[in-house]
């Protein structure tokens, strides 16, 4: 690290590169770019110590638009390449920028293993439920019935839940945000950055060309209060316009149910309290589907030692004596 | 006094033949003989007992003269069961010595091996000196009273055979007993038993009434340059060469990322043991992740290295293109094995040359180097580090299943005498552009994350020739394609001219090889020259780019013969590059060439009217 404490904090715009942005006007990616730049400024990040690594796809153009170090790699392999960056220099702050096709289809294996290993980096998965750069084919997160050039009669595949996948892979930090809900997204990004280990953030991102409005059912302002559950550690799982609705555990089915405070004697005592360290609860929240609201914020945060920390703990010091190495064991002199 | 001998130990996968051979090789090396080994084992870890496909063998050729191959024909074959006999007897020379464990020649084992009658009884072995010994029973007798289980006893049969063969060649047992003591340090009973069995085998030679022409044969020290020697395997040579290269380049850290694959895994194992030398190893989730992690490490200022074998290298191909496009140092070690697809995982071949030189999408040139002997891996690995860091390019280092597992004596170099080639990382932000090239090497600067003012973005999209920003400009792409090619081609000016390894720099026939065919070509050319043939041996370390004088050199020969363990890959490259009528000479049976095979080919193609001369 070359940062010195006397350096002044950079402004968000100082994280922007001089490159002309080539995303479609109105793309949700712009909002994510803005949120990341703001989060880095808030954190006090240094450009020289920050590395953005991406795969292939619309989301993966991200590094070109940052004034930090960046690497636009090959399709699906950003987690592996980013792991190498951290192995070489664990001091660097590494961000993996990926999408639903890049991170969960062609790169699904690497996503699994970077989470399992708990490499200390942030993974921001732009989920727009479609392949954008290749012109609109259905993706592994596309809902069944999605019509696309490769599924003209509707997709017959069942979609993958990114957050459920991350939890299943052993991810120790799993969170969600929405591209246009900046304040909450910036908070989530800062939490992800603070976590030492692999931090997985799914961002619901609107592709206005190939999948416009696919998240409207919970992102529209008109329905947001009813359809979004904002998670806060230690706070009850309440939602709704007047925060009168909540989630209760039905012990008979071991499932969550929506209840309304005051209905049939329901009180705050009945409402589950969010516990970020509870993996079972995180799994339930990640899997919520209508009529349940969509869980947003930090679903799970239970840090354990990162891969890189454990690696460098094992890394022998010893003397790098080449002669001793070459003459170890049996030798003879002529 | 005999000058050289070839011995092969063969038995079941679980019979400990590899250990037996390695111990015999160590005792031979310490006696100062030159040697070459050839471990040959099945892909299965423990194939069903007694089957032919489960036979594991270890061959050693040693001499008081120069030894360059593992040997053509065997002087001694040790066969621990009928399957080992039937799969190896064809290599035993007439009048050679055959030591068999006759106790293992049961009806059941004979049937499994495919013998209709017992070869020890049907006269089919009359060409050989046969010593049918009940090694199992003799081993039991040796450990009597030491409290071993019958399974433990059976497992020490190999030590009995080793003891007898050590006697046969008048070798010491000291380092073997030391080794046994160290290996089984936690179990004194096992130590005592193995030492007892080893000594029993040796004593048997001393005291038994063996055929009177079987007496210990002492094969002395080979005449070699003074210095301190050790045995070194191809694996060790490559691993140590990488570490020496890292030091020579002055880079703090190497990230070695691999995925288990036969026969390349030993390289990853060896590097794990070198953490104190700045090596970070990473067992990746797959071959693609391994190379990508290595590329990421190089981007971050470490030396990224990955290793694999043919099928794994195929998986790395797309990422290799990324390393070429982003112009980052990287070393890819390919321990070649017989292909295509899974092929013969434990058998050697040289059939990945096209993959290394040509096997990528786009115009994607990169240097390709090949080690020719086990110890040569040291220098070649150092050279790979030099080229990768000086030219900001991935480099292929070709080795093969034979070289990785084989061992030979090695004159340990003086570390102070090794070359240095310090890397200059870019630190000055003034005027920095990530793709502005050094005018001499055409290499771009290596600017590490963490360096203020050098922040830049790289990627697989074509990039502007100066700024590195994305560029779809047609002229820029043409310019960058030419620049990438010129950079790699320019390396020809920075590598030695091709030398003639043996013989004159002109003549009737040049035998041109690369990789592990060095030994058999060397010996075959020597024999042919001793018989007056005008033949020379030219062996390539650099295959891409070719040495700058190679075309002119080859044109001075009437004919060119290219023996390869593939269907003719180098020969095709030579013909394409130099429009020469080079002739293919191919062997693809998963085994190294025999000297006699290449010798025969030379004799057929030369007239014998040369002046001849000393070999």
The mean pLDDT value for A196-224 works out to 97
CA distance B102 to B131: 9
Looking at the partner chain, which of B296, B415, B456 has a beta carbon nearest the beta carbon of A83? B296
The mean pLDDT value for A226-245 works out to 97
Neighbours of B151 (CB within 10 A): 7
Subunit contact B292:A84, Cβ cutoff 8 A:
yes
Q: Tell me the fold of A14-234+274-313.
A: Rossmann fold (3.40.50)
3-state secondary structure of B344: strand
pLDDT value at position B208?
81
pLDDT value at position B331?
98
Residue A222 contacts residue A69 (beta carbons within 8 Å): no
pLDDT in tens, B364-376: 999 999 999 999 9
The mean pLDDT value for A225-253 works out to 97
Residue B533 contacts residue B609 (beta carbons within 8 Å): no
Q: DSSP assignment of B371-414, as one string?
A: --STTHHHHHHHHHHHHHHHHT-EEEEEEEHHHHH-EEEEEPPP
Minimum mean pLDDT range among A308-322, B132-146, B523-537: A308-322
pLDDT value at position A290?
87
The mean pLDDT value for B51-59 works out to 94
Higher-confidence residue: B218 or A117? A117
Cα distances from B485 to residues A93, A205, B321, B492, in angstroms, run 34, 41, 13, 12
pLDDT in tens, A119-175: 999 999 999 999 999 999 999 999 999 999 999 999 999 999 999 999 999 999 999
For chain B, positions 187-216, list CB contacts with chain A under 8 A: none
pLDDT interval class at B615 (50, 70, 90): very low
pLDDT value at position A288?
97
- Percent of chain B past pLDDT 70, that is, above it, reads 98
pLDDT interval class at B612 (50, 70, 90): very low
The mean pLDDT value for B94-118 works out to 95
- Among A69, A70, A314, A317, which would you mutate to test the B interface (most chain B Cβ atoms within 10 Å of its Cβ)? A69
Please say if the pLDDT value at position A88 is more than 60. Answer: yes
Residue A72: strand pairing partners: A54, B459
pLDDT in tens, B212-239: 567 778 888 888 899 999 999 999 999 9
Looking at the partner chain, which of B240, B292, B459 has a beta carbon nearest the beta carbon of A325? B240
Which DSSP state fits B213? T
Looking at the partner chain, which of A68, A85, A323 has a beta carbon nearest the beta carbon of B455? A68
pLDDT interval class at B613 (50, 70, 90): very low
Please say if the pLDDT value at position B611 is more than 80. Answer: no
Q: What is the dihedral of CA B16, B22, B23, B26, to 10 degrees?
A: 180
pLDDT value at position B614?
41
pLDDT value at position B41?
86
pLDDT value at position B318?
98
| Sequence-ordered alpha helix ranges (H) in chain A | 28-43, 78-88, 100-101, 108-117, 162-168, 182-194, 216-219, 221-227, 279-286, 307-314, 322-326
pLDDT value at position B610?
53
Please say if the pLDDT value at position B426 is more than 80. Answer: yes
Q: State the average pLDDT for chain A.
A: 96
The mean pLDDT value for B63-81 works out to 95
Which H or E run includes B109? helix B107-113
Complex ipTM? 0.97
CA distance B582 to B487: 28
pLDDT value at position B399?
98
pLDDT value at position A6?
62
The mean pLDDT value for B372-385 works out to 98
pLDDT in tens, B436-445: 999 999 999 9
The encoded tokens of residue B359 equal 């096997």
The residue extents of the domains of chain A are: 14-234+274-313, 236-273
CA-based radius of gyration for chain B? 26
pLDDT in tens, B347-360: 999 999 999 999 99
Q: Which residue of A has its CA nearest to B27?
A: A330
Cα distances from B332 to residues A232, A237, B358, B381, B544, in angstroms, run 48, 52, 14, 10, 14
* List of chain A residues whose C-beta atoms are within 8 Å of the C-beta of residue B290: 80
pLDDT interval class at B412 (50, 70, 90): very high
What is the largest distance, in Å, between two alpha-carbon atoms of chain A?
96
* List of chain B residues whose C-beta atoms are within 8 Å of the C-beta of residue A311: 280
Peptide bond into B33 cis (omega under 30): no
Q: State the average pLDDT for chain B.
A: 95
CA distance B89 to B109: 16
The mean pLDDT value for A226-247 works out to 97
Please say if the pLDDT value at position B73 is more than 50. Answer: yes
The encoded tokens of residue B250 equal 């002055």
Taking the Cβ of residue B231 and every Cβ of chain A, the question of whether any pair is shorter than 8 Å is answered with yes
- A18 HSE (CA, 13 A, CB side): 5
Q: Which residue of A has its CA nearest to B456?
A: A69
Q: Tell which residue, B374, B394, B375, has the closest CA to residue B384.
A: B394
pLDDT value at position B292?
98
Please say if the pLDDT value at position A7 is more than 90. Answer: no
Neighbours of B131 (CB within 10 A): 20
Taking the Cβ of residue B179 and every Cβ of chain A, the question of whether any pair is shorter than 8 Å is answered with no
Residue B462: strand pairing partners: none
Subunit contact B257:A84, Cβ cutoff 8 A:
yes
Residue B585: strand pairing partners: B563
Higher-confidence residue: A131 or B609? A131
pLDDT value at position B555?
98
Taking the Cβ of residue B29 and every Cβ of chain A, the question of whether any pair is shorter than 8 Å is answered with yes
The encoded tokens of residue A106 equal 């062609």
Cα distances from A91 to residues A48, A49, B450, in angstroms, run 11, 8, 9
pLDDT in tens, B263-318: 999 999 999 999 999 999 999 999 999 999 999 999 999 999 999 999 999 999 99
Please say if the pLDDT value at position B190 is more than 70. Answer: yes
């Amino acid at each position: 690290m070359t940062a010195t404490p006397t350096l002044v904090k950079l402004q968000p715009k100082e994280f922007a590169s001089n490159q002309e942005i080539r995303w479609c006007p109105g793309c949700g990616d712009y909002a994510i770019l803005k949120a990341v730049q703001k989060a880095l400024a808030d954190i006090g990040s240094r450009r020289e110590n920050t590395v953005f690594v991406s795969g292939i796809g619309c989301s993966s153009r991200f590094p070109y638009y940052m004034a930090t170090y960046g690497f636009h790699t090959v399709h699906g392999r950003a987690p592996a390449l980013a792991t190498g960056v951290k192995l070489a220099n664990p001091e660097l702050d590494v961000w993996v920028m990926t999408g639903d096709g890049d991170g969960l289809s062609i790169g699904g294996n690497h996503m699994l293993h970077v989470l399992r290993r708990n490499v200390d980096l942030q993974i921001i998965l732009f989920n727009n439920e479609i392949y954008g750069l290749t012109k609109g084919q259905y993706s592994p997160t596309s809902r069944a019935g999605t019509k696309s050039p490769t599924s003209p009669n509707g997709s017959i595949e069942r979609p993958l839940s990114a957050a459920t996948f991350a939890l299943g892979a052993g991810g120790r930090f799993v969170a969600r945000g929405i591209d246009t809900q900046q304040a909450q997204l910036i908070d989530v990004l800062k939490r992800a950055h603070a976590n030492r280990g692999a931090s997985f953030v799914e961002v619901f991102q609107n592709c206005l060309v190939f999948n416009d409005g696919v998240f409207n059912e919970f992102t529209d302002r008109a329905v947001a209060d009813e359809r979004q559950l904002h998670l806060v550690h230690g706070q009850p799982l309440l939602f709704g316009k007047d925060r009168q609705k909540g989630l209760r555990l039905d012990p008979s089915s071991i499932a969550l149910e929506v209840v309304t405070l005051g209905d049939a004697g329901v009180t705050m005592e009945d409402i589950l309290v969010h516990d970020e360290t509870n993996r079972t609860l995180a799994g339930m929240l990640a899997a919520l589907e209508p009529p349940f609201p969509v869980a947003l914020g930090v679903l799970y945060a239970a840090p354990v030692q990162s891969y890189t920390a454990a690696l460098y703990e094992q890394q022998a010091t010893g003397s790098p004596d080449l002669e001793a190495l070459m003459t170890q064991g049996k030798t003879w002199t002529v | 006094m005999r000058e050289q001998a070839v011995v092969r130990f063969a038995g079941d996968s679980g019979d400990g033949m590899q250990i037996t051979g390695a111990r015999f090789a160590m005792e031979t090396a310490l006696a100062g003989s030159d040697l070459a080994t050839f471990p040959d084992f099945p892909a299965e870890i423990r194939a069903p007992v007694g089957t032919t496909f489960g036979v594991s063998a270890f061959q050693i050729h040693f001499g008081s003269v120069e030894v360059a191959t593992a040997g053509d024909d065997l002087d001694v074959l040790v066969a621990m069961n009928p399957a080992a006999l039937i799969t190896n007897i064809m290599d035993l020379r007439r009048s050679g010595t055959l030591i068999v464990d006759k106790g293992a020649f049961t009806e059941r084992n004979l049937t499994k091996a495919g013998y209709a009658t017992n070869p020890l009884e049907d006269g089919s072995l009359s060409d050989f000196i046969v010593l049918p010994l009940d090694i199992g029973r003799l081993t039991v007798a040796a450990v009597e009273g030491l409290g071993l289980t019958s399974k433990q006893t059976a497992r020490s049969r190999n030590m009995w055979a080793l003891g007898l063969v050590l006697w046969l060649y008048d070798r010491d047992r000291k380092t073997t007993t030391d080794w046994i003591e160290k290996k089984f340090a936690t179990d004194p009973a096992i130590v005592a038993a193995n030492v007892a069995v080893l000594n029993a085998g040796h004593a048997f030679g001393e005291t038994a009434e063996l055929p009177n022409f079987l007496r210990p044969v002492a094969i002395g020290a080979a005449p070699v340059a003074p210095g301190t020697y050790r045995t070194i395997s191809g694996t060790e040579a490559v691993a140590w060469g990488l570490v020496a290269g890292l030091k020579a380049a002055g880079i703090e850290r190497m990230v070695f990322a691999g995925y288990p694959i036969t026969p390349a895994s030993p390289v990853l194992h060896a590097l794990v043991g070198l953490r104190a030398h700045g090596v970070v190893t990473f067992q990746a989730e797959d071959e693609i992740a391994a190379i990508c992690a290595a590329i990421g490490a190089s981007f971050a200022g470490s030396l990224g290295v990955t290793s694999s074998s043919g099928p794994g290298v195929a998986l790395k191909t797309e990422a290799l293109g990324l390393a070429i496009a982003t112009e980052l140092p990287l070393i890819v070690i390919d321990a070649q094995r017989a292909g295509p697809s899974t092929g013969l995982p434990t058998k050697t071949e040289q059939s990945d040359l096209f993959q290394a030189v040509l096997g990528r999408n786009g115009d994607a040139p990169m240097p390709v180097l090949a080690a020719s002997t086990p110890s040569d891996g040291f220098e070649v690995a150092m050279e790979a580090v030099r080229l990768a860091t000086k030219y900001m390019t991935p480099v292929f280092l070709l080795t093969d299943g034979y070289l990785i597992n084989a061992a030979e004596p090695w004159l340990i170099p003086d570390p102070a005498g090794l070359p240095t080639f310090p890397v200059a990382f870019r630190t000055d932000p003034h005027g920095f552009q990530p793709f502005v090239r050094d005018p001499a090497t055409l290499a771009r600067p290596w600017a590490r994350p963490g360096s203020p003012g050098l922040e830049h973005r790289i990627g697989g999209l074509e990039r502007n020739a100066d700024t590195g920003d994305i560029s779809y400009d047609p002229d820029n792409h043409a310019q960058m394609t030419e620049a990438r090619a010129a950079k790699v081609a320019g390396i020809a000016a920075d590598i030695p001219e091709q030398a003639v390894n043996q013989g004159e720099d002109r003549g009737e026939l040049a035998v041109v090889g690369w990789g592990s065919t060095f030994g058999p070509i060397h010996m075959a050319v020597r024999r042919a020259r001793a018989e007056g043939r005008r033949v020379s041996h030219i062996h390539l370390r650099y295959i891409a780019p070719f040495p700058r004088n190679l075309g002119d050199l080859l044109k001075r020969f009437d004919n060119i013969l290219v023996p390869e363990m593939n269907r003719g890959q180098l020969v095709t490259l030579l013909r394409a590059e130099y429009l020469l009528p080079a002739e293919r000479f191919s062997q693809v049976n998963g085994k190294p060439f025999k000297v006699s095979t290449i010798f025969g080919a030379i004799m057929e193609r030369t007239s014998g009217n040369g002046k001849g001369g000393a070999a």
